[in-house]
């Protein structure tokens, strides 16, 4: 491992001034605060941990806060609008969606935040019919909580059951209680015994049959769902005021993926959903924000034009390197991440030398998920050893080991990207490769002014030609 064997790490000693029991307790306490979960800046405990500067960039003399700008645009927008919210895996999208909710709530909007994983099978092909059913179900659940009535959600599923029954759709038995009668012409009716919401998420056969049926009833389904939502919106306005703006935030759609390849059915279904059915994704009298994967924007760049100017909020990996280089941005992204760590565990320097934390930040590439995982491994190993160099090497190998092997034909693409700091996009195959690399985090995207790319730091040894092989300050 030529790149990571640096003299700045070697022979680092930890001065231990507490008992072994106290040290173990502190190491475990540090690990516990590294839990990978969204922060909600509206909550006092989470607000103390939140560092807003993580996603604020400087460009041409402007201080760019994409989330604040999106909130301002939604405040100004009228009617029904679609907004796209995207970002690299591990960039903190779910936390920033909660900040968006906080800012819009402060502007006296009624804001619902739902997780797509709670209403959609994220590993199965998606179609517009079942997507609208699931999206409206999420709206019903959140609206019911706001209105203080569990009848809103139960009434919704009863309505969907009636729609399926009246338009005749075949489904099969499931394990849970309740029933919906359905059938096919010439087949006769039978009972679907189960929770339709759960079946649509967990039972692929039910979902596929419902999808097949809804293809022939999209217009009537969309009208029925619009009428339902209109009635619920009337109740919301009765409570919040006639002129209130209602905003729906749908998180985790970026997790919709099958094998992660561009020709995968799940992957392709999301692209089709947004490209071909964009009109149906607008919900009457609602402002709706979809959290989508970066690949969707890469593969369907026309979406910004379709949904309107300024509809895209794109978060990137924390810029721990100076623009288009591998030199650490110590006063920028690195300092921000140090602040993130300090807020979670203020006495971190009693356990971890600052130069070692910088090496961990560098190795993560600014990806918060990898950062927390690396730190957790290091803190565990420090219970058993004070040899920081050996501990760090072990932790880096643990993360590197999980990264996929790179075939020779793909290695050339990555070498080109590592050298030019931008992808080679000469064919569909190149685009597919970039999409997959972003999904698997072989490639990280940064924004220090303009957007640029580099391979994940832990892949540099494998990607860089031997002649590059390289001090940490090299570009």
Regarding whether 349 and 293 lie in a shared domain, the answer is no
- Based on the domain organization, do 91 and 25 belong to the same domain? no
DSSP string covering 404-465: PP--HHHHHHHHHHHHHSS---SSHHHHHHHHHHHHHTSEEEEEESEEEEEE-GGGHHHHS-
277 and 299 share one domain: yes
- What count of residues does the chain have? 475
What torsion do the CA atoms of 353, 354, 360, 362 make, to the nearest 10 degrees?
-150
The model carries a pTM of 0.88
Read off φ and ψ for residue 18, nearest 5 degrees.
Answer: -125, 170
Kindly tell me if the per-residue pLDDT of 467 is higher than 60. Answer: no
Q: How far apart are CA 455 and CA 327, in angstroms?
A: 14
Task: Give residue-wise pLDDT tens across range 201-227.
Answer: 888 888 888 888 899 899 999 999 999
Mean pLDDT lowest for which of 87-101, 347-361, 402-416, 450-464? 402-416
The pLDDT tens digits of the residues spanning 393-403 come to 999 998 988 88
Is the same domain home to 172 and 300?
no
Contact 392, 359 (CB under 8 A): yes
Identify whether residues 24 and 47 lie together within a single domain.
no
Q: What is the mean pLDDT of residues 170-186?
A: 43
Whether 408 and 281 share a structural domain: no
Answer yes or no: do 351 and 447 share one domain.
yes
Rounded distance, CA 12 to CA 7, Å? 9
- Please state the domain count of the chain: 3
Last residue of a domain, one of 315, 342, 375: 315
* Parent domain of 62: 39-109+245-315
Q: Are strands 246-251 and 110-115 parallel, antiparallel or unpaired?
A: parallel
* 257 and 145 part of one domain: no
If asked whether residues 274 and 356 sit together in one domain, one would say no
pLDDT at residue 258 greater than cutoff 60: no
Each residue's pLDDT tens digit, 272-320: 999 999 999 999 999 999 999 887 887 787 887 888 767 789 898 899 9
Residue 124 sits in the same domain as residue 19: no
Summarised one tens digit per residue, pLDDT across range 317-350 is 899 999 999 999 999 999 999 999 999 999 999 9
Domain end marker among 315, 340, 374: 315
* pLDDT for 168 beyond 80: no
Orientation of helix 151-167 relative to helix 218-240, angle to 10°: 160
Residues 74 and 137 in one domain: no
Cβ proximity of 83 and 288 under 8 Å: yes
My answer on whether 84 and 188 are in the same domain is no
21-64 per-position pLDDT tens digit: 999 999 999 999 998 899 999 999 999 999 989 988 877 888 88
Q: 120-164, pLDDT tens digit by residue? A: 988 888 999 999 999 999 999 999 999 999 999 999 999 998 888
Three-state secondary-structure class, residue 183: strand
Q: Give the model confidence (pLDDT) of 411-448 as tens digits.
A: 999 999 999 999 988 887 888 888 888 888 899 999 88
Out of 290, 315, 340, pick the residue that ends a domain: 315
Select the more confidently predicted residue: 352 or 300: 352
């Amino acid at each position: 491992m030529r790149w990571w064997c640096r003299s700045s790490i070697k022979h680092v000693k930890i001065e231990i001034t507490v008992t072994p029991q106290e040290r173990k307790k502190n190491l475990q306490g540090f690990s516990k605060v590294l839990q990978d979960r969204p922060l909600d800046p509206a909550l006092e405990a989470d607000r103390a941990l939140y560092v807003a500067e993580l996603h604020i960039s400087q460009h041409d003399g402007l201080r760019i806060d994409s989330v604040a700008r999106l909130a301002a645009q939604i405040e100004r927008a009228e009617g029904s609008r679609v907004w796209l919210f995207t970002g690299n895996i591990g960039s903190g999208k779910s936390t920033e969606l909660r900040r968006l909710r906080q800012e819009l709530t402060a502007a006296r909007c009624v804001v619902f935040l739902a997780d797509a994983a709670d209403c959609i099978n994220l590993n199965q092909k998606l179609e517009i019919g079942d997507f609208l059913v699931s999206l409206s179900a999420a709206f019903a659940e959140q609206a019911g909580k706001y209105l203080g009535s569990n009848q809103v959600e139960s009434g919704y599923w009863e309505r969907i059951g009636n729609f399926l029954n009246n338009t005749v759709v075949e489904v099969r038995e499931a394990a849970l209680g309740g029933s919906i009668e359905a059938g096919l012409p010439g087949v006769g009716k039978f009972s679907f015994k189960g929770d339709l919401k759960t079946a649509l998420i967990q039972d692929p056969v039910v979902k596929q049959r419902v999808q097949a049926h809804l293809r022939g009833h999209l217009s009537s389904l969309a009208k029925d769902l619009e009428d339902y939502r209109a009635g619920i919106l009337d109740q919301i306005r009765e409570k919040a005021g006639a002129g209130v703006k209602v905003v729906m935030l749908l998180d985790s759609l970026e997790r919709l993926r099958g094998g992660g390849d561009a020709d995968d059915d799940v992957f392709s279904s999301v692209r089709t959903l947004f490209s071909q059915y964009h009109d149906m994704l607008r919900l009457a009298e609602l402002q709706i924000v979809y959290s989508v994967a970066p690949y969707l924007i890469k593969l369907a760049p026309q979406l910004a034009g379709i949904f309107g100017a300024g509809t895209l909020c794109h978060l990137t990996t924390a810029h721990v390197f100076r623009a288009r280089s591998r030199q650490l941005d110590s006063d920028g992204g690195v300092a921000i991440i140090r602040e993130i760590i300090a807020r979670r565990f203020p006495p971190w320097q009693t356990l971890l030398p600052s130069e070692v934390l910088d090496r961990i930040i560098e190795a993560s590439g600014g990806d918060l998920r990898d950062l927390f995982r690396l730190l957790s491994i290091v803190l565990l190993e420090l219970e058993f050893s004070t040899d920081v160099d050996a501990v760090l090497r072990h932790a880096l190998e643990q993360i590197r080991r999980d990264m996929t092997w790179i075939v020779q034909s793909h290695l050339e693409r990555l070498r080109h990207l590592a050298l030019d700091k931008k992808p080679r996009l000469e064919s569909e195959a190149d685009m597919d490769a970039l999409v997959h690399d972003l999904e698997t985090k072989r490639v990280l995207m940064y924004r220090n002014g303009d957007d640029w790319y580099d391979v994940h730091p832990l892949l540099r040894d494998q990607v860089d030609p031997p002649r590059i092989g390289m001090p940490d300050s090299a570009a």
